Amino acid sequence: MMAYTRFQTPLGIMTLHASDSGLLGAWFETQTTRPDNLGELSDCHPILNQAVVELTEYFAGQRRDFTVPLAAKGTAFQQQVWHALITIPYGETWCYKDLAIAVGNPKASQAVGGANGKNPISIIVPCHRVIGKNGSLTGYAGGVDIKQALLELEGIR
């Protein structure tokens, strides 16, 4: 069963989407990568409830790592990049080349950038921690202002 919920964060409303096997997506209202069919609106789905609790703790500065099961859909390469994103420590940033090296293909900066941009699970799969080689914030599907706020929340200026 697929289900979704919406909840208010300090940075705006987020939509969370889950199946019984894990979280499928987490989007801010400004993001355009959300699928059309999210299933049933639910306030009692256990994975959605866990994600809300963990994200609330993150925004309160009480959580750095997430334990909610993930079940994002993507190509094998996208999955590899998203798995590498989870290894970026809280409060640190990588450039796209660092991410390419982490997936074993140092020349694939552009390709990992594309997979990074398709990440459907904001914050929990921390694509906001990837910045340009020169330190620029570059793009973020939720908006560069949200990316900057997330990095500042983690102590990155």
Q: Which residues are the active-site residues?
A: 127
**What is the dihedral sign for C-alpha 18, 22, 28, 34?**
negative
Nearest-5° angle of CA 123, CA 126, CA 132? 125
Residue 126's closest CA among 75, 65, 63, 56? 65
- CA 107 to centroid of chain Cα atoms: 24
> Rounded CA gap, 26 and 66, in Å?
13
59-to-53, 119, 152 alpha-carbon distances in Å: 10, 20, 11
Using DSSP, state whether 28 is helix, strand or coil.
Answer: strand
